[in-house]
Structure 1
Amino acid sequence: MRARFTPPQTSDSEILQGIDALKEGREYVILEIFARRGKSALFRVEFIEGEDSALFDSRAFTVTSHALPSAWRYFQFDTGSFALRPESWNQPGFWESYYDHQRQALEVYETEKRNILSSS
């Protein structure tokens, strides 16, 4: 799944959070979808290629390819939110380990990212 970033014409801070890291008109591979109960969905994209990813409000993007990666699984949470992402990314503590730059988490991230890229 891919989406093009188009800076939204809004003052809504929820939509604008973090978008300064994105490049206008660039197409991004969506690595994960996180849908929060009662809120807009978030797309995980790599904003610095090969270095870092984060969740951004989906309303800042236009989907350009609707094909879902075969590596994605559906995860329902007690809050009513859900995620579409690789199973290994749903393990407790994974994202904390990733952001702490722990080698094993970074390797898992890279492996799953390559799987997603190959099907996008």
Structure 2
Amino acid sequence: MRVRYLGAPDEPPNPVDGRYHFIPGREYAVLELHMGSDGSSSLRIEHSPKDLAGLYSGKHFEQVSDIIPSQWSVELHRRGGLSMGPKEWIAGDFWERMMERDPEAEAAYEVTRDAILAEEPAA
């Protein structure tokens, strides 16, 4: 799945939400998708291979591809909403281990990320 960053003309870039990393009009691969029970969406996007992939509000992006990576699975949340992404990433403590720079988690991330990107190369 790919999205295009639309920018946020009514909102200045905010270092807290990370939007200053994105270039309006540029496409990005979505590595993970979360939908809240309120209808909000969060997209996990890697803006730089040197930085941890972050979660960003979907309201500033438009979908440009509907290809769902074969590595994704779906998890329905008890209180509503759902997550779609690699099973290992959306369950358990995977992202906590990534923030701690766990070598095993980082290696698993790289393999899965590369597989997702190979299924739908950049435009």
1:81 positional shift: 2.0
Secondary structure (helix, strand or coil) at the match of 1:52 reads: coil
Deviation at 1:50, TM superposition (A): 4.7
1:66-110 Cα shifts (integer Å, max 9, x gaps): 111111100012221210001111231111001111101111111
Identity in percent: 25
- Does residue 23 of structure 2 align to residue 30 of structure 1? no
Distance 1:35 1:84 in 2: 9
CA distance in 1, matches of 2:2, 2:90: 21
Gaps of 5+ in 1: none
TM-score (norm 2): 0.86
2:104 equivalent to 1:113: no
How many residues of Structure 1 are paired with residues of Structure 2 in the alignment? 119
Give the Cα separation in 2 of the matches to 1:59 and 1:12: 14
Q: CA separation of 1:39/1:11 partners in 2, compared to 1, >3 Å: closer, same or farther? A: farther
Partners of 2:22 and 2:98 in 1: how far apart?
20
**Separation in 2, partners of 1:119, 1:72:** 12
What TM-score do the two structures reach when normalised by structure 1? 0.88
* Displacement of 1:21: 1.9
Structure 1 residue 12: Cα displacement: 9.5
Please provide the CA RMSD for this pair. Answer: 2.1
Deviation at 1:32, TM superposition (A): 0.5
Counterpart code for 2:32: E
Deviation at 1:23, TM superposition (A): 2.1
What secondary structure sits across from 2:47 in the alignment?
strand
